[in-house]
Structure 1
């Protein structure tokens, strides 16, 4: 269930800054705020058609406005009319300058405040606690300015209440609260203003007068039992006419925020001879570009004679095109921009400023939302000004602002600027930045707004003095220590520090996390978490809010654990698993057909249901029998992707491989996926030249459907149109930000297409999102192996072996250890594995290894393999008569489930998957299954084939394919 709550928060923004410690600070420019308002969308928790949507039953809004700043508290009450318990997920964007300063969940009429937790840890705790039916909630940032609240449970035919608090500076003194509701909730609204204000009512409410309360505040109240209107509440608060300072205390430290009015300044223009125009052509950029084109009209009117180098980028950059604009005539360039096809993911690697791309360029213009979801290269500073234009509601403003600031450019958000204001900011002469320094204060940050600057910092003494040199040369100074207090000041200061770190988020990850944890902020490294009981906080090492602290400490004293003892027990368990596997491998099994005993079918645990799509004639490839030349590395066939090269030299890293196992000639036949959606038949019947145009024609109804992009990419890749197939596939990165299931599918398909280089940055992101899941390291390690980096592969896979995992991942350490030894025993490259216990370093080559994984958490799929004897290995009989071994049953999500056969009896083997079912609280779509069939596993002749299938409903069986042993 998801909702885009654009109506949720005031649509005003703050501007970016730079900061240093102990040095003068230079502020960047920001254009004036406009009176434009983004269209409001009705709030709704969306569920599939078979479910009733979860309704927003009540909304309570309290807004406190002071000159220059606002704090808004929003309480939501959701009603679940369904007969099943559900998990709720609300997604919404914040705009520049807005900071979440509070998050709480209601327990029986009592609000419990959230506490800051490392982001990946908070995600793990939420999912683990929800899995056992306890009440958690988490607020996290996904990418850029996009936030997500996850709440469990939404009781069957019951309610949950969530509270958010947001603080922000007011640009131009204007506060807006869009209100649009589809469910006619009970609306309570209270606005209080400290200062002169003018409030506009809106038709659905009539005039809302401001009344003076006994404390001298102006106040407006609204109470509607079933509010079904739409509109925007607007309050204009008079801005400061002279410098004003407010302070705030957090712990033992004090922080300040100073508002400094700007003097009038003359306008001028700079000179531009050549410009590089960087145009985001990814799928997420496919909105209306009228405002961008109008801004370019003004730009070329200001700079009428200029050379333009146009580079469009998405998953990869397009070849650059050169245009000459004369006398302001840029029609040829405009026509080219209007022909842009918006498709694929976003890769900022194309934006790196090289001597070639920046040679002779006066400045660069970047049009993008900043949501880089495929890039892997760190962007260095631009040697020329980089001006950035963004018009999307969903964006990464912090990163865009930071990139523009450090190059001397401006960052413009067209969603809040009029065309005239944006043109003035983009074409005007670079402003002289404000220089500030202070006595008894440090960590200064500066933001430049339309009519004023705001300076924030930490006070280190009682006699703090702020000194500023204005662009007109005037110097001002004023004391800071005696200013009035405001609770939001420390949070706003910390949020600005986090924004300044986002130009290089990977390099500043630890500092970002520390600031988030200290100041209780939602950042790319921290989330806000609410749990029900003290023992839940203790079980995950999370410090609870004050109300539970006493109980938490008492429980902690009673539950002192011996970490060293647990570690020793874990290592002993891994060794025991490995010895059991070694004993199986060394055992001789009969290959004769077992005595007939009326072998029953495995019990069907679900009702049959339809498979989404159908299968057709299988394709095959053959692993040849060994020959003298087989001891040398052999090339991988086009169908056998991902099995590439590599392992350690035997003398350095593994014992010599025994002569048995991995010697049979095996033919593998996997089912081709043939979807039955209407667009699929049209694509299959189309000639190669028309495939991409048909995809674009069919795309509009499927813009948010992962299955659509997967199916189209398959057709393009099968027809040899690899670049277009990979472009279509990369759209998965744009669909659901930081959805690790979708990202895993993208990575698996990239591997299947023979592009481990594309899979690696995606899997690194998955590892950061879910470090608590062993699959994150296993997938990444295997991708390193496919890319030929066996050293990194072995080290990454070893993380799975050495760490302790949740019980729903049984014996995953053994599976990773087997794969480590498989890499080492291939012996193609030297690999140093001294960190591995020698007792765990043993080669176990196999004729066949079948590995099944899937993308859905809390979902149980079962692998079945039936051999030529009619003997089936499955969860109820994991060892066949001839020695086929099935790994432990994964009932809690992802897999892998692995079938291993050292010496395969000649004949035909059948591979099937039984969809047992799922116990997810969130209603999800089809489950995507990936099967790997590896022949000659753990030898230099190892080959691998991958196939991806999709299961729509719980069902009995799905044929994956067959393999034949000659």
Structure 2
């Protein structure tokens, strides 16, 4: 998927980082654009920053103006991480010079609404969190040769005893940069790094009677670095309050006593080193420097090193003597970073008296539930893109989460080597819903007042302390949003158990959370259509329209059920019909307009969908009575024995399946094909830097490794797809399909469960998961998911998908060797309808039209324009809106060969998309105990591309 903009960490990070030396900041170019040779990258033309720094609070609004120089409309995607302590508290889209604020709704529903509205060619925008601290902003449209503006509001809590406010200014060829900072602190100082040479003369100026300010307006700006404002303040307790939505929120900042207790020297330690592909993005110099200090403090240790990625490697043991850890250091430096991240490896019993985990906290394969640790666990993160909440949760049994992106080397070593005073036994009178936010210099206690004043009680170093807070404390508009954000962080420690509470807070405070996203729609009618509460300026009109909208949910459900039963009845009528198996007769006289193309008396009306009329714009229309040209239907080459080949059947017709061995024409493929098996992985690592963001590369390499009988390495390479783009359901589907094709349904199921969470509004999500459960021999779960497809109402672009899922459900029920519970189904749906041949085609790209073509022994082609053959081959309704499935069925097969092709007609996606990946499943004796199937995954490059998939041979 094309990104019109992918921001590096340095663009939007306004992080608190007390006492961090300037040289510890890693800056990167702020703008990285992926595009195709035929398209011009979108330009970031102007940036306007308005920031208010008041006491321990900072609020920054960033307005971004983008220009699309291409001659077609695009959808835009902006990805960016935030650092620990930062919260997105606002997002707005510009409509002809007027900003419209976003509102929070359920995350999957927000994505569904956004994509529905995009298909209607109106203006939506969506902001969502993917994993950890990573955010994704989607905007449509970016007008052809036009501009679009978005605005983000970010709130953070700075340490009142002396924090650092940072404003990243890493831009290339920016036509205009405007900055306006207002600071209430009179003693703040400004630092400008050398990379911002154009701004070296800047200085803070007095603002009225109190505070300081900084304003500048630069044209044609280019720079790299961060402006830093060092704040000062008294190390004393401070309280703040805010009245909002009938509640009185408070915040109390409690300075942390600088008392430390040296840690007891461990007898042995275990290092768990995240060696997944994302590990390349960690700052290994900082991590090794931290270990250097650790072994100076504890110079004699037995260390067990465990590298983990998609699976854990075997442990290695090292002896550190006299502080000499060179062997361990050398081993860490030689680590190969490859594969996805599975935290299930962390559940192995500890093999030492202390554990140290180096990771970014992003578990992208299973979301493993972690068992409690019996030994102290410290967690170290040096990655800008991370999951701070998960990192804190990983630290157990008195351990700490140490963030090297905001701590200096000395601070981090202090945290690791010494225990610190902890705030304990917190209670309150006159307040509720307390939450504690911790930083190196202070604790901040926030909550809701139930009285005008409240008394907090807590213990520090065994001594009881008290603190009074009042609704009359100094006011700040940041108190309530930060309380909500910190409460969400606390709930995310057990996210699966707290999803509803997180969702409620996200909606109430308009926050981006794992359960809620922010969305902006164009018209009030769009808000009414999806029953989304709009911003304040549209409320009056919304309430009037929503009252006029009839509640027709039950009626629609009955109509849906009747529609599915009608589809099933038509399929049954086709199945009961006996079709001739002789040659195709000569063409009859032309039929009258509206008559069915199929056999007379069959309820399945071949003209009912007007598919042919929909496609008259094609350059070539395939003839139903002529064989495919040789160039379109080459002789199949058998694939590896574990994925395809002849499949003899124990009963009925003897039917074999041959699949076309598909091979990429990428330049690295020949090199790998000519190499010996022992050299393949080294060649892959050598080629990877050039293709590190290409899904096709990892798929191709995995294919080569599977073919050379290196399944463990193939699975490792394939698992990299989880690391490429967080929460991209297309990539997750492709990865799962490949696991299924290779015979690993247990690896596919967690990925497809994630897809269900991301896109429960797409029937393919439940269908894919159901079929994966079937392959894993979990038939009950399989039919439960497939019935979701049958029973729910879907968008019109998924027309008749219910019948395909119902056929698959019935096949499982009637072929299962165990009695399945079908009591939750309408019994009228249960029908035993086995067929000799079945082909199903699916693909990964939304808004994309793919066609299934079957040519039978009569040389008669069945396709969207000729949906029923002379001998009874039937093809399903043509789905042109993305994903498929398209299905071919033949109850009784004539002897001979049946050729399967896929035709890529085109795409209506408003993004610069890459190659489309399709999956074809060929099945014999479908719906019987003798059922056999083979899967193949292929990739198409351009519209009008046509590929040979495989063939059946009936003997």
Question: TM-score, structure 2 length as denominator?
Answer: 0.92
Q: Secondary structure at the match of 2:174?
A: coil
Gaps of 5+ in 2: 591-611, 622-630
1:204 and 2:198 equivalent? yes
Q: How far apart, CA to CA, are the structure 2 residues paired with 1:577 and 1:239?
A: 72
- The 5-angstrom pairing of residues 468-507 of structure 1 reads 468-471=458-461, 473=463, 475-507=465-497
Equivalence for 1:666: 655
Deviation track 1:182-224 (CA, whole Å, cap 9, x = no partner) reads 2323111000001221123453123223233346332111112
Equivalence for 2:85: 97
Cα contact 1:282–1:314 (8 A) shared by 2: yes
Cα contact 1:402–1:499 (8 A) shared by 2: no
Deviation track 1:558-596 (CA, whole Å, cap 9, x = no partner) reads 111221111111111111110110110000111111123
Given the superposition, is the C-alpha separation of residues 311 and 44 from structure 1 closer, same or farther in structure 2, using an over 3 Å criterion? closer
Given the superposition, is the C-alpha separation of residues 148 and 857 from structure 1 closer, same or farther in structure 2, using an over 3 Å criterion? same
Q: CA deviation at 1:447?
A: 2.7
Cα contact 1:606–1:955 (8 A) shared by 2: no
Q: How far apart, CA to CA, are the structure 1 residues paired with 2:589 and 2:884?
A: 27
Equivalence for 1:577: 567
1:382 counterpart (347, 358, 373) = 373
Q: How far apart, CA to CA, are the structure 2 residues paired with 1:469 and 1:836?
A: 58
Moved more, 238-247 or 837-846: 238-247
Given the superposition, is the C-alpha separation of residues 452 and 599 from structure 1 closer, same or farther in structure 2, using an over 3 Å criterion? farther
Equivalence for 2:450: 460
Q: CA deviation at 1:230?
A: 3.0
Equivalence for 2:414: 424
Q: How far apart, CA to CA, are the structure 2 residues paired with 1:459 and 1:808?
A: 51
2:796 counterpart (801, 807, 818) = 807
Given the superposition, is the C-alpha separation of residues 909 and 520 from structure 1 closer, same or farther in structure 2, using an over 3 Å criterion? same
1:684 and 2:697 equivalent? no
Q: Which has the higher contact order (CA 8 A, sep 6+)?
A: 1
Equivalence for 1:563: 553
Q: CA deviation at 1:517?
A: 1.3
Q: CA deviation at 1:603?
A: 7.1
Given the superposition, is the C-alpha separation of residues 262 and 606 from structure 1 closer, same or farther in structure 2, using an over 3 Å criterion? farther
Equivalence for 1:341: 336
Q: How far apart, CA to CA, are the structure 2 residues paired with 1:460 and 1:407?
A: 34
Q: How far apart, CA to CA, are the structure 1 residues paired with 2:588 and 2:198?
A: 74
Given the superposition, is the C-alpha separation of residues 617 and 583 from structure 1 closer, same or farther in structure 2, using an over 3 Å criterion? closer
Q: How far apart, CA to CA, are the structure 1 residues paired with 2:687 and 2:32?
A: 27
1:638 counterpart (639, 642, 652) = 642
Equivalence for 1:651: none
Deviation track 1:150-188 (CA, whole Å, cap 9, x = no partner) reads 000001111111000001112442111110212323111
Given the superposition, is the C-alpha separation of residues 941 and 411 from structure 1 closer, same or farther in structure 2, using an over 3 Å criterion? same
1:838 and 2:827 equivalent? yes
Deviation track 1:9-48 (CA, whole Å, cap 9, x = no partner) reads 344248xxxxxxxxxxxxxxxx975543230423355432
Equivalence for 1:779: 768
1:749 counterpart (719, 738, 745) = 738
Moved more, 816-825 or 228-237: 228-237
Q: CA deviation at 1:322?
A: 2.3
Given the superposition, is the C-alpha separation of residues 491 and 373 from structure 1 closer, same or farther in structure 2, using an over 3 Å criterion? same
Q: Secondary structure at the match of 1:234?
A: strand
Cα contact 1:616–1:672 (8 A) shared by 2: no
Cα contact 2:457–2:464 (8 A) shared by 1: no
Q: CA deviation at 1:462?
A: 0.8
1:618 counterpart (613, 636, 641) = 636
Equivalence for 1:21: none
Given the superposition, is the C-alpha separation of residues 407 and 322 from structure 1 closer, same or farther in structure 2, using an over 3 Å criterion? same
Given the superposition, is the C-alpha separation of residues 661 and 459 from structure 1 closer, same or farther in structure 2, using an over 3 Å criterion? farther
Q: How far apart, CA to CA, are the structure 1 residues paired with 2:376 and 2:814?
A: 53
Cα contact 1:257–1:454 (8 A) shared by 2: yes
Q: How far apart, CA to CA, are the structure 2 residues paired with 1:787 and 1:270?
A: 49
1:140 and 2:125 equivalent? no
Deviation track 1:438-464 (CA, whole Å, cap 9, x = no partner) reads 211122222332222211112121121
- The 5-angstrom pairing of residues 59-208 of structure 1 reads 59-171=47-159, 172-196=162-186, 197-201=188-192, 202-208=196-202
Deviation track 1:452-511 (CA, whole Å, cap 9, x = no partner) reads 221111212112122333337362422332211111111111111111122232222222
Cα contact 1:6–1:41 (8 A) shared by 2: no
Equivalence for 1:289: 284
Q: Secondary structure at the match of 1:163?
A: strand
2:753 counterpart (748, 764, 780) = 764
Cα contact 1:64–1:193 (8 A) shared by 2: yes
1:444 and 2:462 equivalent? no
Equivalence for 2:225: 231
Equivalence for 1:315: 310
Q: CA deviation at 1:935?
A: 0.6
Equivalence for 2:213: 219
Q: How far apart, CA to CA, are the structure 2 residues paired with 1:448 and 1:621?
A: 58
Given the superposition, is the C-alpha separation of residues 322 and 75 from structure 1 closer, same or farther in structure 2, using an over 3 Å criterion? same
Cα contact 1:868–1:908 (8 A) shared by 2: yes
Q: CA deviation at 1:847?
A: 0.7
Cα contact 1:94–1:146 (8 A) shared by 2: yes
1:859 and 2:848 equivalent? yes
Cα contact 1:103–1:113 (8 A) shared by 2: yes
1:881 and 2:870 equivalent? yes
Q: How far apart, CA to CA, are the structure 2 residues paired with 1:884 and 1:401?
A: 59
Q: How far apart, CA to CA, are the structure 1 residues paired with 2:35 and 2:642?
A: 41
CA root-mean-square deviation: 2.4
Cα contact 2:833–2:927 (8 A) shared by 1: yes
Matched length: 910
Question: TM-score, structure 1 length as denominator?
Answer: 0.91
Q: Secondary structure at the match of 1:184?
A: strand
Q: How far apart, CA to CA, are the structure 2 residues paired with 1:41 and 1:501?
A: 35
Q: Secondary structure at the match of 2:222?
A: coil
Given the superposition, is the C-alpha separation of residues 708 and 264 from structure 1 closer, same or farther in structure 2, using an over 3 Å criterion? closer
Equivalence for 2:299: 304
Q: CA deviation at 1:669?
A: 1.4
Q: How far apart, CA to CA, are the structure 2 residues paired with 1:670 and 1:239?
A: 72
2:345 counterpart (340, 346, 350) = 350
Q: CA deviation at 1:294?
A: 1.4
Q: How far apart, CA to CA, are the structure 2 residues paired with 1:661 and 1:603?
A: 44
Q: CA deviation at 1:681?
A: 0.3
Deviation track 1:224-253 (CA, whole Å, cap 9, x = no partner) reads 232223332111121343211111222111
Given the superposition, is the C-alpha separation of residues 614 and 460 from structure 1 closer, same or farther in structure 2, using an over 3 Å criterion? farther
Q: How far apart, CA to CA, are the structure 2 residues paired with 1:891 and 1:86?
A: 20
Moved more, 232-241 or 60-69: 232-241
Deviation track 1:508-532 (CA, whole Å, cap 9, x = no partner) reads 2222222111111101111000001
1:513 and 2:513 equivalent? no
2:884 counterpart (880, 895, 900) = 895
Given the superposition, is the C-alpha separation of residues 614 and 176 from structure 1 closer, same or farther in structure 2, using an over 3 Å criterion? farther
Q: How far apart, CA to CA, are the structure 2 residues paired with 1:816 and 1:802?
A: 10
Q: How far apart, CA to CA, are the structure 1 residues paired with 2:94 and 2:325?
A: 58
Given the superposition, is the C-alpha separation of residues 621 and 362 from structure 1 closer, same or farther in structure 2, using an over 3 Å criterion? closer
Q: How far apart, CA to CA, are the structure 1 residues paired with 2:197 and 2:739?
A: 53
Deviation track 1:381-402 (CA, whole Å, cap 9, x = no partner) reads 2222210011111111111112
Q: CA deviation at 1:695?
A: 1.0
Given the superposition, is the C-alpha separation of residues 795 and 85 from structure 1 closer, same or farther in structure 2, using an over 3 Å criterion? same
- The 5-angstrom pairing of residues 668-747 of structure 1 reads 668-747=657-736
Gaps of 5+ in 1: 15-30, 623-636, 644-659
Q: CA deviation at 1:335?
A: 2.2
Q: How far apart, CA to CA, are the structure 1 residues paired with 2:485 and 2:302?
A: 39
Cα contact 1:661–1:936 (8 A) shared by 2: no
1:9 and 2:31 equivalent? no
Q: CA deviation at 1:956?
A: 4.6
